[in-house]
Amino acid sequence: MQPVTVGIGPVSGDDVLAVARDGAAVVLSDEAEAEIRRSRAVVEALAGDVEPHYGVSTGFGALATRYIPSELRTDLQRSLVRSHAAGSGPEVEREVVRALMLLRLSTLASGRTGVRLETARAYAAMLSAGITPTVREYGSLGCSGDLAPLAQCALAVMGEGLVRDADDVLRPAAEALAAAGIEPVELREKEGLALINGTDGMLGMLVLACHDLRLVLRTADVAAAMSVEALLGTDAVFAADLQALRPHPGQADVAANLRALLAGSAIMESHRGPECTRVQDAYSLRCAPQVHGAARDTVTYAETIASRELASAIDNPVITPDGRVESNGNFHGAPLGYALDFLAIAAADVASIAERRTDRFLDIARSHGLPAFLAADPGVDSGHMIAQYTAAAIVSELKRLATPASVDSIPSSAMQEDHVSMGWSAGRELRRSVDGLSRVVAIELLTAARGLDLRRPLEPAPATAAVRDGLRAAVAGPGPDRHLDPEIESALAYVVSGGAVAAAESVTGPLR
């Protein structure tokens, strides 16, 4: 894999994914190195000034009124990082930490932070060596940046604390750095603040979630098409002219996907015409474009926020292009927190409508001729009865996770930091929400595939048949009750790997 080059401009979402998930190495561009040197010269000029400058020769937060003499400033930076590396709880996922470090490096490379070149190079070297600091679940209020998570990374650059090496072995940072030939950094004026005063954890989780949601929402369209088909629903409501009456782009895309997925279905053809007495399908079938589409439009909004944040240089104080050192509030995570919360709301609602479609398969009053609970011998067998319980439990959890974290605030730092974003918490909740949505979609797909099989001898559309057949490579078709847990996990793997979408697209071409 080619290394990701970090320059003075923004890294892309694809760059974040390459480094965070695929382990790509990182290099600084020549232009970035030159800009880092220029801004460092500004800081070093201020370091000798008898006037106090925040972050250079003062304490921090509520302690910013104290002037720190030059002989204590190395201690000041070291103490800042050590004291702020105060997280608690389980370790945060490797991909989130790598995304966070890359995004912090991107801001360092902009030349707006005033760090030394060797400090920026140390971050690039750690990422390239696969060294991942241990970051804890709790510790960020999403204001003044993701302080505790970023401080844990800065601690590792100093050669302190614990890290996981490229083989995922937990070991002391000093030992891992030495093994990789990386010299620990002794932080100088301004550098401690520059390494911890960013929104990088929130942004990294937003970029990863947007990518994952794009896939799971396309898969939700696939599962919905299979449900409409196997429940003998109508595709007439997905007509382009009807959708155009309400011109939301996401809605139009979902309806187009449903039309493509259902094209050529013998099951759909079997109940067209005057002999079909049903006028309208239930909302969970009929309104799939409206609900899935609204979620897609929410992702588009969130991607807009992410793109702006990727182009940002977050620090306090910041070195302006004309050489001023200015305090600011750009570290506040509100823009990211709102977007993260909005996505969790959308994920919960798509999961909710998917679970309702799953439930319809299991009720003989609503499934139009399918056996109770899709069981081989109802009463002896329970079929997919408890799979729906699992989906319902997840949906209930997603509704709780959709309670916005960003509407909360709690004052800190002796009331200096008296309004915070809780954006990190929103990001943590969203990651669980994306996982939960994927599981609910997997259960719908598993159930709908069984429903399609039970409609034989009628055959489904070529696209939905391809999806069902792909699932059948890992999960057997209808029959007496089996251990269902592994089948749900196989369906989940089919969803998150992109296998279900790929199977559909082998017939339809690229879905929207």
Quote the crossing angle between the two packed helices 117-129 and 147-157, to the nearest 10°. Answer: 90
Whole-Å CA distances, 239 to 233, 250, 368:
14, 15, 24
The answer to whether residue 21 sits within a structural domain is yes
Q: Say what the pLDDT of residue 416 is.
A: 82
The answer to whether residue 325 sits within a structural domain is no
The answer to whether residue 138 sits within a structural domain is yes
The answer to whether residue 162 sits within a structural domain is yes
Which of 162, 178, 198 delimits the end of a domain? 198
Residue appearing with tokens 């974003």: 421
The answer to whether residue 94 sits within a structural domain is yes
Distance of alpha carbon 91 from alpha carbon 97, whole angstroms = 10
Among 347, 342, 368, 337, residue whose Cα is nearest residue 439: 347
Q: Are residues 79 and 171 in the same domain?
A: yes
The one-letter code for the residue type at 87 is G
Distance of alpha carbon 493 from alpha carbon 445, whole angstroms = 12
Q: Phi then psi for 163, rounded to 5 degrees?
A: -135, 170
- Domain span at residue 55? 4-198
Q: Are residues 229 and 112 in the same domain?
A: no
Q: Are residues 220 and 146 in the same domain?
A: no
Which of 132, 167, 198 delimits the end of a domain? 198
Which of 198, 221, 247 delimits the end of a domain? 198
Contacts of 269 by beta carbon, 8 Å cutoff, 6+ apart: none
The answer to whether residue 115 sits within a structural domain is yes
DSSP letters, 138-175, are: E---SSSSSHHHHHHHHHHHTT-SEEE-TT--EEEHHH
Q: Domain tally for the chain?
A: 2
CATH of the domain at 275: 1.20.200.10
The answer to whether residue 281 sits within a structural domain is yes
Q: Are residues 189 and 239 in the same domain?
A: no
Q: Are residues 193 and 98 in the same domain?
A: yes
Residue 276 corresponds to which tokens in the numbers above?
């079909």
Cβ neighbours, 10 Å, residue 387:
26
| Tens of pLDDT, residue by residue, the chain (512 residues) | 899 999 999 999 999 999 999 999 999 999 999 999 999 999 998 887 777 777 777 776 667 777 778 788 888 899 999 999 999 999 999 999 999 999 999 999 999 999 999 999 999 999 999 999 999 999 999 988 899 999 999 999 999 999 999 999 999 999 999 999 999 999 999 999 999 999 999 999 999 999 999 999 999 999 999 999 999 999 999 999 999 999 999 999 999 999 999 999 999 999 987 766 667 899 999 999 999 999 999 999 999 999 999 999 999 999 999 989 898 999 999 999 999 999 999 999 999 999 999 999 999 999 999 999 999 999 999 999 999 999 999 999 999 999 999 999 999 988 888 899 999 999 999 999 999 999 999 999 999 999 999 999 999 999 999 999 999 999 999 999 999 999 999 999 999 999 999 999 999 999 99
Q: Say what the pLDDT of residue 46 is.
A: 84
**Virtual CA dihedral for 88, 91, 96, 98, nearest 10 degrees?**
100
With b meaning 16 or more CB within 10 Å and e meaning fewer, what string describes 357-380? bbbbbbeeeebbebbbbbbeeeee
Quote the crossing angle between the two packed helices 94-109 and 200-230, to the nearest 10°. Answer: 130
Q: Are residues 228 and 374 in the same domain?
A: yes
Q: Are residues 114 and 224 in the same domain?
A: no
Cβ neighbours, 10 Å, residue 273:
7
Q: Are residues 218 and 157 in the same domain?
A: no
Q: Phi then psi for 317, rounded to 5 degrees?
A: -75, 170
Q: Are residues 146 and 283 in the same domain?
A: no
Q: Are residues 294 and 440 in the same domain?
A: yes
Q: Which residues are part of the catalytic machinery?
A: 54
Among 169, 172, 174, residue whose Cα is nearest residue 159: 174
**Greatest distance between any 2 Cα atoms in the chain:** 91
CATH of the domain at 90: 1.10.275.10
**Virtual CA dihedral for 268, 272, 277, 279, nearest 10 degrees?**
80
Distance of alpha carbon 258 from alpha carbon 238, whole angstroms = 7
Q: Are residues 173 and 136 in the same domain?
A: yes
Q: Say what the pLDDT of residue 61 is.
A: 66
Q: Phi then psi for 326, rounded to 5 degrees?
A: -130, 135
Q: Are residues 265 and 384 in the same domain?
A: yes
The answer to whether residue 346 sits within a structural domain is no
**pTM (2 decimals)?**
0.96
Q: Say what the pLDDT of residue 68 is.
A: 79
